[in-house]
Amino acid sequence: MTRLSRLALACAACVLSLNTALAQTPSAAPATPPEAATPEYVPKQGQQGKDVIWVPTQQALIDRMLEMAGLTEQDYLVDLGSGDGRTVITAAKRGARAHGIEYNADLVALSQRTARAEGVSDKATFEKADIFASDFSKATVVTLFLLPELNIKLRPILLDMAPGTRVVSNSFTMDEWEPDQSAGGGPECSSYYCQAHAWVVPAKLHGNWRLANGELRLEQTYQKLEGTLLRDGQQHALSEARIDGRKVAFTAGGQRYEGELRDGRLVGRVDGGGEWSAQRAS
C-alpha cells in the first residue's frame, strides 16, 4: 500500500470516528420560547352585555353616589350589573359589606381579582347571575347603572324592599317615582354620565288609620302623601306631607305632625301638642 493510500485511509477513519462521536452526543434541543402568559381580560367600553352595553362609572361619581346613600360600615350594598367591580370595591374600602351581581363571567372574574389585589375580598364579593333572577332583598343600599326601561322593570322589586333602603342610580331615573335628591359628580367627573339620583324606599302607608280621637286618611304616590286628618270633630287637609323611609311628616290644622312606623303603628309628636299615634284600620 502506498503512503498516499495509507493517509487516505487514516483520514477516512478520522471522519468516521468524528461522525460516530457526534451521533452519540445528545444534540442541544432547539430553544423553546417561554409559554405566553394568558392575557388578563380587559373589558372595552361600549362592549355589549346581556341587557346593556358596558360603560364604567367614573370614580368621582361613585364617591358621590355612596355619599348620597349615606353609606356606613353597617350597610350591605348590592350593585346591580356590577361590571368591573369598582363600585363594590369602593364600598368595601369604606368598611361596608358589598356584593356585585353581574351576568358577564369575565367581568366577575376580573372583579374578584381586583378585590384580592386591593385587599378587600373579605368584604367585596361577586357572582355571575341575572339581576332579575336574584334575591337582593337584604341589601340596605342598592346601586345601579342601567337603562331607563330596566329601572322601570326593577321599580316594583325595589319598592317591596324594607322601608329605608337607599337606592342610587347613575344617570337614569325611575320615571314617575321622582328622586329624593339628585347631584352631579363634580369637576372631576368628565364623562357624559355624571349625574346621580337617589331614593329612599318609602313605607306603605296608604289607607285609613285610627287615632284615639279621630282618623287619618292617606293617599300615597311613592314618597308623596295626600289626605285628611279628622280630629276632635274637625277635618283638615294635609299639606307638606311626605314619607322618608319609615318616617312620615305632614301639616294639618296648623300643626306639624312627625312620626314613624313602628310595629305596624304610626307614633310621633305634634309640634306644641304632645304625642300622637295611629293604628291601621282593618
- Interval 101-140: pLDDT, tens: 999 999 999 999 999 999 999 999 999 999 999 999 999 9
CATH number, domain with residue 80 = 3.40.50.150
This prediction's pTM = 0.83
Cα gap 225→206, rounded to integer Å = 8
Q: What is the domain range of residue 71? A: 59-200
One domain, residues 151 and 211: no
Taking the mean position of all CA atoms in its chain, how far away is CA 67?
14
For 213-232, the pLDDT digits (tens) are: 899 999 999 999 999 999 88
Q: Is 166 in a helix, a strand, or coil?
A: strand
For 157-177, the pLDDT digits (tens) are: 999 999 999 999 999 999 999
User: Which runs of E-coded beta strand occur in the chain?
Assistant: 76-80, 97-102, 124-128, 141-144, 166-170, 181-184, 195-200, 207-211, 214-221, 224-231, 234-237, 239-244, 247-252, 255-262, 265-270, 274-280
Question: Is residue 19's pLDDT more than 70?
Answer: no
* CA proximity to 138, closest of 192, 85, 98: 98
Widest CA span of the chain, in angstroms? 148
Q: Of 146, 168, 200, which marks where a domain is finished?
A: 200
Q: With bands split at pLDDT 50, 70 and 90, how would you rate the model's confidence at 53?
A: confident
Partners of 248 in the beta sheet?
A: 243, 259
Question: Is residue 12's pLDDT more than 70?
Answer: no
What's the pLDDT score for residue 59? 96
Number of domains the chain is built from: 2
What's the pLDDT score for residue 39? 59
- Average pLDDT of every residue of the chain: 87
Cα gap 80→153, rounded to integer Å = 13
Phi-psi category of residue 107: left, alpha or beta, with phi > 0 → left and psi -120 to 50 → alpha: alpha
How large is the average pLDDT for residues 183-190? 92
Cβ partners under 8 Å of residue 270, min gap 6? 255, 256, 257, 276
One domain, residues 80 and 179: yes
One domain, residues 91 and 176: yes
For 64-78, the pLDDT digits (tens) are: 999 999 999 999 999
How large is the average pLDDT for residues 246-266? 96
For the chain, give the percent of residues with pLDDT over 70.
85
245: cell is 323611609
For the chain, give the percent of residues with pLDDT over 90.
76
